[in-house]
């Protein structure tokens, strides 16, 4: 039976773990491998690792780093960053990663979704949509290259196209809410949830477990991903890797689904 998942999202830049605010001003918060080891101990549902340098700089995935992460990681691992070719995706899956995430390449060449899905299976293909609300409006558009390029494409149209081409999951990431820790953009989450039947993960804005509960109440069975929530603690944002215990997590999900 499918159930909501609570997913730490780790951003990697120059080999280090960083956190951003609205995709800007990356703050170094530690070593990714050490973070993975801690999340192993906390029995995390799933882990998402995104290399934010690779696409922006036109670099290919760092296969050595990915192999190291895959060896250490004892939960399902999704990796994204710099994947532009089918062979790259196949190599990453061969290293022991469960899912590959594609973003800019999927927007620029949607056929890549189908090509990768044929080789590794739709269940392993995740399309990440970085989304910003239009100024003075309620429409959402997809941006690429670390939120530096506006595609002008509505998120609903892109999500539906990704589903039709064989994607196995959609991750919708709010640029506006990134790092704000003031809650998810629930309107955005509902919009994408209603547009596609694919498994959906929502990222951007979580500042408390209550925010995760609110997302689950709004969208039902969904992946609740967060970065700042799981690497910072307290109002001064002291760096501390954290994750809810099993009983706390089960209670949160149970209460949210009953509401």
Which residues are identified as catalytic? Answer: 130
Write the DSSP symbol of residue 59.
P
Exposed / middle / buried, residue 30 (Cβ in 10 Å: 0-12, 13-18, 19+): middle
Q: Is the dihedral of CA 235, 128, 164, 222 positive or negative?
A: negative
What number of helices (H) and strands (E) belong to the chain? 11, 14
Write the DSSP symbol of residue 123.
G
Cα distance between residue 19 and residue 28, in whole Å: 7
- Which positions ≥6 away from 26 have C-beta within 8 Å? 11, 13, 18, 19, 20, 52
């Amino acid at each position: 039976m499918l159930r909501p998942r609570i997913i730490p999202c780790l951003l990697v830049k120059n080999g280090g773990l960083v956190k951003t605010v609205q995709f800007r001003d990356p703050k170094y918060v530690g070593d990714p491998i050490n973070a993975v080891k801690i999340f192993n101990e906390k029995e995390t549902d799933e882990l998402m690792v995104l290399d934010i340098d690779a696409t922006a700089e036109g670099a290919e995935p760092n296969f050595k780093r990915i192999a190291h992460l895959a060896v250490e990681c004892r939960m399902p691992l999704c990796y994204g960053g710099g994947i532009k070719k089918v062979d790259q995706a196949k190599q990453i899956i061969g290293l022991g990663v469960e899912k590959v995430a594609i973003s800019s390449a999927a927007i620029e060449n949607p056929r890549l979704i189908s090509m990768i899905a044929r080789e590794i299976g739709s269940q392993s293909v995740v399309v990440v949509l970085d989304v910003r609300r239009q100024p003075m409006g309620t429409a959402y558009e997809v941006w690429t290259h670390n939120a530096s390029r506006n595609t002008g494409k509505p998120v609903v149209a892109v999500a539906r196209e990704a589903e039709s081409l064989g994607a196995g999951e959609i991750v919708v990431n709010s640029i506006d809410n990134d790092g704000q820790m003031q809650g998810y953009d629930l309107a955005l989450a509902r919009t994408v949830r209603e547009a596609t039947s694919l498994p959906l993960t929502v990222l951007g804005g979580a500042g408390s477990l209550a925010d995760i509960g609110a997302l689950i109440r709004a969208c039902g069975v969904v992946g609740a991903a967060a970065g700042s929530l799981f690497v910072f603690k307290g109002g001064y944002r002291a760096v501390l890797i954290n994750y809810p215990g099993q009983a706390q997590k089960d209670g949160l999900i149970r209460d949210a689904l009953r509401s």
